[in-house]
Amino acid sequence: MEQKRRGVRLVLFPCPLQGHINPMLQLASILYSKGFSITIIHTRFNSPNSSNFPHFTFIPIPDGISDLDPNSISLAHLSLLNINCVVPLRDCLLRLLSNHNITTSSAEAEPIPCLISDAIMHFTQGVADSLNLPRLALRTSSVESFLSFAAFSVSWQKNCLPDSQLETPVTELPPLIVKDLPMINTFTLDCMYQLLGSMVDQAKASSGLIWNSFDDLEQSALATLSQQFPIPVFTIGPFHKLFSASSSSLLTQDHSCIAWLDTQPPKSVIYVSYGSLVSIDEAEFVEMAWGLANSNCPFLWVVRSGMFHDSERVGPLWPDGFLETIKGKGCIVEWAPQQDVLAHPAVGGFWTHNGWNSTLESICEGVPMLCLPCFGDQSMNARLVSHVWMVGLQLENKSERGQIERSIRRLMVEKEGEEMRERVASLKEKAEVCVNKGGSSCKSLEDLMARILSF
């Protein structure tokens, strides 16, 4: 039930990527449910669908990359956004603050205590400082990955060491090994160093860090974080368990797959999705296809039109005989309502790229994972899943159909997978406890609200 309006307006600014927009709008919905009014300032690139959130105010600002194909977004574009959006965001915030100062009625009269922005949009700290406006930073991935970015000076080793040393432990970041560190194209190393370094520095300069995580999941990393970052930390996740927000998907969801899942036995289906950005080549695609078919496990596979390296290619080129082989045991869609899929009783495993949202959603539904990380923080998340929480397997050779087949069967039908299912069920219970009254995330949310009202 919505609480009485507090007469306070919060302004939020997301990073315009699907995996960042989702948690920001979930956070906005949580805070709205607690009585705050919400304004979302956003780029025109990958603009969120405002019709799904009629109770929010949406304000677009120019970004200089509006015409870019969403599948072509790169590290350089994120850096460019941190330059292009400085003046538009400052002007927009200045108008909002001025309206409050001169208006005595209507929503515009509501005071704005702070700005909440995505941590990767690091320029927002300088903008907020120039307006004497406190800034809270939302980090949309794991605490562990943030610590690795904070120690980024060691991670360049991944591109400098021979393959024989990729299993070397990173002593500064246990339990990571060298190959778990951020995947970096050496041509953009300087760009990535600057982007991540600025993100960490400006997060440390913020008035607090908000996390879509929970205490029982990342206790060790949170202890380290508190030593390195002497600012308030608010672990209020999993966001989607605190408030079921409207869909913030930038892609059209195909709900027909739910009807197909209804026809499948409990915990028999492996769900396969690489998220909204990952792309693969034809050889990988063919090996995936035959690995799935040869496993003899029912599967639901998300195959986006933009998931192929060949930018001219509209859709998949199916291997000869594949569609006939999987008839009756495979369902293929362009995009799925992921939270509904993972919550379905027929789903017993998730083959994932290990983006943080996907990883957290899988844990919350008690679904073990087959991990195939591709870039960024995904390798670190996969290491947590497979070697720390031990609720998944990591594919080491992503192009080999035999290994794919064996790994699927290990996860779905063998004792090893059942043991993982029991461990992830325990994490699911902890996630449910933390968001209930008296739980750690519930208490942290109360602390966050008190922090906001103290500004």
| pLDDT tens by residue, 342-351 | 999 999 999 9
Query: What digits encode the pLDDT tens for the residues 44-103?
Result: 999 999 999 999 999 999 999 888 877 677 778 899 999 999 999 999 999 999 976 554
Whether the predicted pLDDT of 6 surpasses 80 = no
Q: Whole-angstrom Cα distance, residue 303 to residue 275?
A: 10
Higher per-residue pLDDT: 327 or 116: 116
Type of residue at 9: R
Type of residue at 144: E
Q: Whole-angstrom Cα distance, residue 360 to residue 22?
A: 13
- What CATH number belongs to 9-153+191-248+435-454? 3.40.50.2000
* Averaged pLDDT, 144-158: 69
Confidence class for position 250, pLDDT limits 50, 70, 90: low
Per-residue model confidence (pLDDT) at position 151: 76
Q: Where are the domains of the chain?
A: 9-153+191-248+435-454, 256-431
Within 198-310, strands assigned E span: 209-211, 233-235, 269-273, 299-302
The answer to whether 372 touches 398, Cβ cutoff 8 Å, is yes
Query: What digits encode the pLDDT tens for the residues 343-393?
Result: 999 999 999 999 999 999 999 999 999 999 887 788 889 999 999 999 999
Q: What are the CA-CA distances from residue 195 to residues 149, 281, 406 (Å)?
A: 10, 28, 39
Question: Which range among 143-157, 177-191, 298-312 has the greatest average pLDDT?
Answer: 298-312
Q: What are the CA-CA distances from residue 445 to residues 111, 237, 242, 451 (Å)?
A: 20, 9, 10, 10
- 9-153+191-248+435-454 matches 256-431 in fold: yes
Order across the sheet with 269-273: list the strands: 330-333, 299-302, 269-273, 347-352, 369-371, 392-394
- 106-114's contacts with Cβ under 8 Å and 24+ in sequence apart are 107/9, 107/37, 107/57, 110/7, 110/8, 110/9, 110/37, 111/7, 111/8, 111/9, 112/8, 112/9, 112/10, 112/11, 113/8, 113/10, 113/452, 113/453, 113/455, 114/10, 114/11, 114/207, 114/452, 114/455
Residue 262, burial from CB neighbour count under 10 angstroms (0-12, 13-18, 19+) = exposed
pTM of the model: 0.89
Q: Is 106 left (phi over 0), alpha (psi -120 to 50) or beta?
A: left
Q: Is 328 left (phi over 0), alpha (psi -120 to 50) or beta?
A: left
Q: State the CATH architecture for 256-431.
A: 3-Layer(aba) Sandwich (3.40)
